[in-house]
Amino acid sequence: MNPTRRDTPFREAMRSLLVFDGAMGSLLYERGVFVTQNFEQLNVTRPEVVRKIHEDYVAAGAQVIETNTFGANGFCLDRFGLGDQVRAYNVAGARLARQAAGEDVWVAGSIGPTGLVPGVASPAELDLAAATFADQAAALVEGGVDLFVLETFRHLEEIRIAIDAARQAAPELPIIASMAFNPSETVADGSTPEQVAATLRDWGADVIGVNCGDGPQLALAIAERMRGAGLPLCVQPNAGLPRTVDGRLLYMATPEYLDVFARRTIQLGATMIGGCCGTTPEHVHWMAKSGRMLGDRHIDVIRTRAVTAAEVVPVLEPTPLAERSDFAAKIAAGKFVVSVEVNPAPGLDPSKALEGAKMLLASGVDIVNVADAPRAVARMSNLAFCSLLLERCGIQPILHVCGRDRNLLGQMAHLLGAHAIGIRNLVII
pLDDT band at residue 304 using 50, 70 and 90 as cut-offs: low
Question: Which pLDDT value is given to residue 270?
Answer: 93
pLDDT at 312: 47
Residue 157 and residue 174: Cα distance in Å, rounded?
20
Rounded CA-CA distance 163/179 in Å is 12
User: Domains in the chain and their CATH numbers?
Assistant: 10-294 (3.20.20.330), 317-428 (3.40.50)
Average pLDDT over residues 310-331: 77
Round to the nearest angstrom and report the end-to-end CA distance of the chain: 64
Output the pLDDT for position 250.
65
Q: What's the pLDDT score for residue 249?
A: 61
Angle between the N-to-C axes of helices 193-202 and 216-226, in degrees from 0 to 180, rounded to the nearest 10: 60
Q: In sequence order, which residues have a C-beta less than 8 Å from that of residue 9 and are 6 or more positions away?
A: none
- Chain segment 4-48, per-residue pLDDT in tens: 888 888 999 988 899 999 999 999 999 999 989 999 999 999 999
Task: Please say whether the beta carbons of 201 and 160 come within 8 A.
Answer: no
* pLDDT beyond 70 at 174: yes
Residues forming a β-bridge with 399: 370, 426
Output the pLDDT for position 5. Answer: 85
The length of the chain is 429
Question: What is the model's pLDDT at position 253?
Answer: 80
Strand partners, 428: 401
Q: What angle separates helix 193-202 from helix 156-169, to the nearest 10 degrees?
A: 30
Q: How many CA atoms lie within 13 A of 357 on its CB side?
A: 26
Residue 299 has pLDDT above 80, yes or no: no
Whether residue 309 is predicted with pLDDT greater than 50 in this model: the reply is no
Q: Which residue, among 297, 290, 238, 292, has the nearest Cα to 265 in the 3D structure? A: 290
Within 10 angstroms of residue 261's Cβ, the number of other Cβ atoms is 24
3-class DSSP state of 411: helix
Task: Give the C-alpha separation, 15 to 298, whole Å.
Answer: 6
Cα distance between residue 222 and residue 211, in whole Å: 10
Average pLDDT over residues 41-63: 98
pLDDT reading at 202 higher than 50: yes
pLDDT in tens, 410-421: 899 999 999 999
Q: What is the pLDDT of residues 121-161, one digit of tens each?
A: 999 999 999 999 999 999 999 999 999 999 999 999 999 99
Q: Is the pLDDT of residue 306 over 60?
A: no
Residue 21 CA to residue 274 CA, distance in Å, equals 5
Amino acid at 157: E
- The confidence score (pLDDT) of residue 377 equals 81
| pLDDT, tens digit, 9 for 90 and up, residues 73-119 | 999 999 999 999 999 999 999 999 999 999 999 999 999 999 999 98
Q: Could you tell me if 213 and 193 are in contact, meaning their C-beta atoms sit under 8 angstroms apart?
A: no
419 against 308, higher pLDDT:
419
**E strand or H helix that includes residue 57:** helix 47-60
Rounded to 10 deg, the angle between the 281-294 and 47-60 helix axes is: 30
HEC-encoded secondary structure of 295-312: CCCECCCCECCCCCHHHH
